[in-house]
Amino acid sequence: MDFTRFPLAPGDRVLDLGCGAGRHAFECYRRGAHVVALDRDGDEVRTVAAFALPFPDETFDAVIISEVMEHIPDDKGVLAELVRVLKPGGRIAVTVPRYGPERVCWALSDAYHQVEGGHIRIYRPRQLLARIREAGLRPYGSHWAHALHSPYWWLKCAFGVDNDKALPVRAYHKLLVWDIMKKPMATRIAEDVLNPLIGKSFVVYATKPRRPAQVRA
């Protein structure tokens, strides 16, 4: 995510749905936001039929849903719930696996996606944008991200998604950990150059329109 496109103010209430290890949640907290970070056991994601968040309407100033929608059958229902709990004028960031790199993973390994809680669809950019607009949101920006992660997942799929002992997989994982911890300039530049070509994620930013009475004259 690019927080220059997804600005937060100290005191903002942020929902991070599908927080995983909390990378986005910790960054929001570092910026002074009050964060609610939620995740669901992977085995449950695929079978969820109704998605109801335990929050009143218009609770949050910002919502993040990162690498979640590709797991859930009722993606329209999930977006509707997020719109419900988002304040008018609030922002939402949605990320999903990018079509091209994801198709490579599916071609290399059935085990990558044919598992409980696995990926059940691959979004083309226009399909995700259509879903977002249908939910009543207004997209205002998008970009590709995490190009360095695409080769890692291709290696995982080629050598076996559960085979972490393969030398190429282990070596590349060490590179990613080094990159995350040290943030060297060389890998930052490489990722910026490669993101338009093989960025692993497609990121969209959108706002929830204000009601007419809330729009200043």
pLDDT per position as a tens digit, 123-168: 999 999 999 999 999 999 999 999 999 999 999 999 999 899 999 9
What is residue 46's predicted lDDT score, i.e. its pLDDT?
46
- Judged against a pLDDT cut of 70, whether residue 216 lies above it is answered with no
What is residue 214's predicted lDDT score, i.e. its pLDDT?
55
List of residues 6+ apart from 152 with CB closer than 8 A? 169, 172, 173, 176
How many folded domains does the chain comprise? 1
Q: How many CB atoms lie within 10 A of CB 109?
A: 18
150 lies in some domain: yes
CA distances from 87 to 2, 16, 44, 131, 206 (A): 21, 15, 28, 19, 13
Distance CA 68, CA 54 (A): 18
3 lies in some domain: no
List of residues 6+ apart from 183 with CB closer than 8 A? none
Which domain does 112 fall in, by range? 13-210
Mind listing the pLDDT tens digit for each residue in 61-86?
999 999 999 988 899 999 999 999 99
What is residue 22's predicted lDDT score, i.e. its pLDDT?
74
Lowest mean pLDDT among 51-60, 73-82, 196-205: 51-60
Structure tokens at 213: 């009475």
8 lies in some domain: no
- Judged against a pLDDT cut of 50, whether residue 45 lies above it is answered with no
Average pLDDT over residues 8-31: 87
- pLDDT category at 19 given cuts 50, 70, 90 is confident
5 lies in some domain: no
Q: What is the pTM of this model?
A: 0.88
Average pLDDT over residues 188-201: 96
Phi, psi torsion values for 124, nearest 5 degrees: -80, 150
CATH number of the domain to which 171 belongs: 3.40.50.150
Query: Comparing 202 with 72, which gets the higher pLDDT?
Result: 202
Average pLDDT over residues 82-96: 97
Average pLDDT over residues 89-95: 97
2 lies in some domain: no
6 lies in some domain: no
128 lies in some domain: yes
111 contacts 160 by C-beta, under 8 angstroms: yes
Find, among 161, 141, 111, 124, the residue nearest to 207 by Cα. Answer: 141
216 lies in some domain: no
